[in-house]
């Protein structure tokens, strides 16, 4: 399936100098690593339909203090689609967590801080619960961790599975995404407003059938019931950063999930939407540092980059 080529399409990719490729879990992963090797390792996990570009401003800011690793999820950005009869297993919460764990093992990196945006927050929580990572703190940016009611969830999942299984659907969506007006409406529908450069990045990704297929498959195989059940044994402090204007994920969802976890705090961002870290990276970076500060005595320089 047609997708972006890094040599051709990645020439102007944000933070290109930090990019590398890693073979793990039957895929070729696009990874960006920046910051001093001796600094504490900080993992960034984007949400459905995004990529490492989502951290284009935030990652370099955090790299001033941390050893930052950001990874394109399966089928997203420049990471390949997995192959074989069990392809869908790679797109579940458990599958994504296992895949990222395999990448970190290849890189010999042990994150002490993990930050996930939207669905990415589910992945880092799953990794922590299952012992794939042993962070001192987790941060969810507009986290999409609350299970949907049964009937809407079944309907949504059925639609996503139809889109994922129809060969022409990614091509059709990619054709429509070439229209900047459609991309602008989609982004504004999240409650966020991005500059022209940010909108063009999403138009580029949306016009890539492989990227679209990765997003469809992720939505089709997303089930949060097991994760939600296991959150009570998370055992790691989790902080929720919530944009008050988020129209994609209700701020109430984070409050609901925080009660399940117990060791959780809420931090509000007035005037920002679902893509708060892209709208105002300085504000989000400052808040992240503030959140991590009380945990600093637990965050030793454990980077093990080979």
DSSP string, 278-302: HH-HHHHHHHHHHHHGGGGGG----
pLDDT digits over 116-173, tens only? Answer: 999 999 999 999 999 999 999 999 999 999 997 544 555 455 555 555 566 666 676 7
**Residue 217 or 170, more confident:** 217
How far apart, in whole angstroms, are the C-alpha atoms of residue 47 and residue 203? Answer: 16
CATH of domain 6-148+222-298: 3.40.50.1820
Cβ–Cβ < 8 Å for 265, 293: no
Q: What is the mean pLDDT of residues 107-113?
A: 97
**Dihedral angle sign, alpha carbons of residues 59, 60, 63, 64:** negative
Q: What is the mean pLDDT of residues 14-32?
A: 97
Residues across the chain: 306
Q: What is the mean pLDDT of residues 14-40?
A: 96
Every domain of the chain and the residues it spans: 6-148+222-298
- From the list 13, 15, 57, the residue with the least C-alpha distance to 208 is 13
Cβ–Cβ < 8 Å for 64, 35: yes
How far apart, in whole angstroms, are the C-alpha atoms of residue 76 and residue 3? Answer: 9
DSSP, res 18: G
pLDDT digits over 31-59, tens only? Answer: 999 999 999 999 999 999 999 999 999 99
DSSP string, 164-227: HH-THHHHHHHHHTT-HHHHHHHHHTTT----HHHHHHHHHHHT-HHHHHHHHHHHHT---HHH
pLDDT exceeds 70 at position 297: no
């Amino acid at each position: 399936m047609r997708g972006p080529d890094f040599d051709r399409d990645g020439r102007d990719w944000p933070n290109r100098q930090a990019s590398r490729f890693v073979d793990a879990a039957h895929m070729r992963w696009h990874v960006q690593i920046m910051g001093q090797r001796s600094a504490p390792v900080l993992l960034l996990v984007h949400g459905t339909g995004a990529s490492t570009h989502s951290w284009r401003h935030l990652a370099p800011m955090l790299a001033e203090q941390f050893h930052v690793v950001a990874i394109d999820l399966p089928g997203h950005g420049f990471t390949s689609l997995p192959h074989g009869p069990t392809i869908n297993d790679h797109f579940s919460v458990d599958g994504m967590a296992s895949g990222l764990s395999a990448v970190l093992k290849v890189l010999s990196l042990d994150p002490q801080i993990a930050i996930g945006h939207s669905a990415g927050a589910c992945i880092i929580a799953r990794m922590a619960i299952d012992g794939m990572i042993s962070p001192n703190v987790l941060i969810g940016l507009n986290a999409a961790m609350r299970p949907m009611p049964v009937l809407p969830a079944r309907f949504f999942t059925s639609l996503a599975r139809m889109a994922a299984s129809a060969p022409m659907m990614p091509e059709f969506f990619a054709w429509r995404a070439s229209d900047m007006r459609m991309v602008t409406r989609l982004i504004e529908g999240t409650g966020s407003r991005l500059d022209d450069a940010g909108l063009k990045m999403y138009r580029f990704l949306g016009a890539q059938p492989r990227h679209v297929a990765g997003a469809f498959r992720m939505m089709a195989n997303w089930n949060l019931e097991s994760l939600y059940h296991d959150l009570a044994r998370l055992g790691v402090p989790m902080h929720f950063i919530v944009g008050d204007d988020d129209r994609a994920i209700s701020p109430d969802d984070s409050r609901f999930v925080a009660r399940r976890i117990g060791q959780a705090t809420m931090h509000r961002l007035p005037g920002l939407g679902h893509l708060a870290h892209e709208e105002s990276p300085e504000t989000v970076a400052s808040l992240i540092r503030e959140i991590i500060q009380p945990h600093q005595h637990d965050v030793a320089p454990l980077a093990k980059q080979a």
